[in-house]
Every structure is written in structure tokens, then in C-alpha cells.
Amino acid sequence: MGTAVADGLVGAIGNTPLIRLKRASAATGCEILAKAEFCSPGGSVKDRAALAIIQDAEARGLLSPGGTIVEGTAGNTGIGLTLVANARGYKSIIVMPETQSREKIDFLRMIGADLRLVPAKPFKDPGNYVHVSRALAEEQGALWANQFDNLANREGHRRTTGPEIWAQTGGKIDAFTCACGTGGTLAGVSFALKEHNPHIKIVLADPEGSGLYGWVKHNDLTVTGSSITEGIGQSRVPGNLDGAPIDDAVKIPDPEALEQIFDLMIHEGLSIGGSAGINVAAAIRVARDLGPGHTVVTMLCDSGARYQSKLFNPDFLKSKNLPVPSWM
């Protein structure tokens, strides 16, 4: 975090702080460290993927001044893409399931995205937001960002996030865990860390309602249950996750994630979203599994402000039989 001046928005993406989580560390006897991706200009880890995808398209000559980028997203990638597009002189069309949080929908409109909301459909349905975005890109002759299968996503994390974690821990890291939507973060970081030390344990964190835990454990993508988290979990293996060196997986139910979200907010002043709650809960499980004296790193993907209407809404939480923050 030097004193250098960042060159515009793009120069301010990445190089986020690594924060020691005091209570999680004390509870496990390990160092539990989390990358504060909410410090990125667009407020999430997806700024990195957005920048990597756009830079890759520019390098390949697929984007020219005044061009258009189309993407299907649960929100954060759309925000990152729109902001980077604004800074680079492109237009963006964002296709999103209408079930996503009101905060993300409003934010995308505020920053100038051409937002198209579609009904939430499974991936096998042609009406799924990913397929709708691909068709729209073809129709418009625009760039389809394709964050799930575009390997520029994981390559961006291999070049930036992984080396930052290695440098910030001084190479003292025993395990890395995070949840997957596209798989870009987990795959990119795992490739980078294992280049330095193949013994670093890579653990995929998965919510209920996703098939990735079963895929890692038994090569079985069967989906059971559901989760209120957004932007993570999959019923298929995205291109970015394919071939990544993953050692294990943990499945985290929503109440366990919410406990960490509320605990970090009220005791450590850290406001985090649902996927970050899954990640912290997973880091605690991995640390307990390794035993005291180890260092586990995870990601705080975005802040709680994007999920106020869900994670911090007592009526919503009660309707799902989930714990409510004690102070609300």
C-alpha cells in the first residue's frame, strides 16, 4: 500500500489489504487472514476479473474505442465491467437475474449500465441469464465478457491476487479457501500459490444449493438445498475452474455464514457480504482441521451494504428461518 499515485480507476484495482481476523484467529489458534476486496473501487473482487477480461480483449483486438461489452452477472462483475468500461470509453449491457439484491440493481443503473433483468432460470434453460447475454452480444456484434469460461478471468487472479497474497504473508501460508461463482479467484490464486509451494492446501468453499462440493469430493455435481448467498455456487464446472489444483472442499450452510457476518460486523467493524461469510466460516473450518499454528487466507469479496435488504433485513431472515443480528 505504498504512497504512489494510482493512474485512474484501473490503477486503483487490486493491491487490497490483507486483514487479520482477530476472533477467528483466537478461536482456532491459527492466523486467519482475509483479503479486503471491498476496498477495490467497484467495491468487490470482481473488479479484478472485469479489468483482466477487458485488457485481454483489447490485447486481442476484440474491443475498439466506443465498443460495447455484454455480460450476464449476479451483479458485482457487471459493476466492475461497467466502471472499467466507463473509464476506457466503452458501453456496457448487463443481463442479470431479477432475483438479485435491490442494492445491486440500483447501483448498476446509477453507474450507467444498460441493465436487462431476466427471470431466474437454471443454466440448462435457454432463458438463463448467461445464455441471454451471449445471444445479445452476438446480435449486437458486441464483446461477450463470458466471465465463467473466459480464462482471462483466472489469469488475472494468477497474475495479481495470488502473488499479492504470497508477498503479504511473506510466503507463510498453509491454506487458501474461497467460494466459487466463476471459479476465477480460487483457480487463479491456487495456480499462483502452488507455483511457490505445492504443499499449500487449496479448499473450495461451497454454499448449500451448489454442486461444486460434491464435484471436488466425489466427481458428482448433484445439487441439494438452497442458499441466500448471491453470485456463488454452480450446477456445472465453469471453464475457469476446470483443471485448477484443488485439494478439498467444505460445505457451509447459511446460518454458519451469517454467524460470521454478524460477528465480524459487531466485534471487528468489518462489513461483509454473503459470500465473504461463507469464506470466513470455511477458513475457520480449514484452520480447525489443520490445527493451531497454521496460516489460512480467504477473501472478503464485497461489503454488506450490497445485501442490506436481505442479510440485514429481520423480516427476510425470519421468513427463511435464519438468525437475525442481535442488534436489529
* pLDDT interval class at 74 (50, 70, 90): confident
- Specify the pTM: 0.96
For residues 88 and 198, give the distance between their C-alpha atoms in angstroms, rounded to a whole number.
38
Cell 445439487 belongs to 223
Cell 470482481 belongs to 46
Chain centroid, CA 116 distance in Å: 21
Q: How many CA atoms lie within 13 A of 200 on its CB side?
A: 27
> 62 with 55: CB under 8 angstroms?
no
Q: Is 70 helix (H, G, I), strand (E, B) or coil?
A: strand
Rounded mean pLDDT, 251-266 = 98
For residues 130 and 126, give the distance between their C-alpha atoms in angstroms, rounded to a whole number.
9
Instruction: Look at residue 123 and tell me whether its pLDDT is greater than 90.
Output: no
For residues 12 and 87, give the distance between their C-alpha atoms in angstroms, rounded to a whole number.
12
Instruction: Look at residue 1 and tell me whether its pLDDT is greater than 70.
Output: no
Instruction: Name residue 202's beta-bridge partners.
Output: 176
Which residues, at least 6 apart from 104, have a Cβ–Cβ distance to it below 8 Å?
Answer: 74, 75, 76, 78, 79, 96, 230, 306
Instruction: Look at residue 209 and tell me whether its pLDDT is greater than 60.
Output: yes
270-321 pLDDT tens trace: 999 999 999 999 999 999 999 999 999 999 999 999 999 999 999 999 999 9
Q: Which candidate in 35, 46, 251, 310 is catalytic? A: 46
Instruction: Look at residue 101 and tell me whether its pLDDT is greater than 90.
Output: no
Instruction: Name residue 297's beta-bridge partners.
Output: 33, 176
Q: Over the range 53-66, which residues count as b (16 or more CB within 10 Å of their CB) and which as e? A: bbbbbeeeeebeee
Cell 459493476 belongs to 79
Q: For the chain, give the mean pLDDT.
A: 96
Would you state the pLDDT for residue 2?
A: 55
Q: According to the 3-state scheme, what is the secondary structure of 93-135?
A: EEEEECCCCHHHHHHHHHCCCEEEEECCCCCCCCCCHHHHHHH
Q: Number of helices (H) and strands (E), helices first, in the chain?
A: 14, 10
Residue 110, burial from CB neighbour count under 10 angstroms (0-12, 13-18, 19+)? exposed
Q: Is the C-alpha dihedral spanning 147, 310, 280, 13 positive or negative?
A: positive
Is residue 217 flagged as an active site residue? no
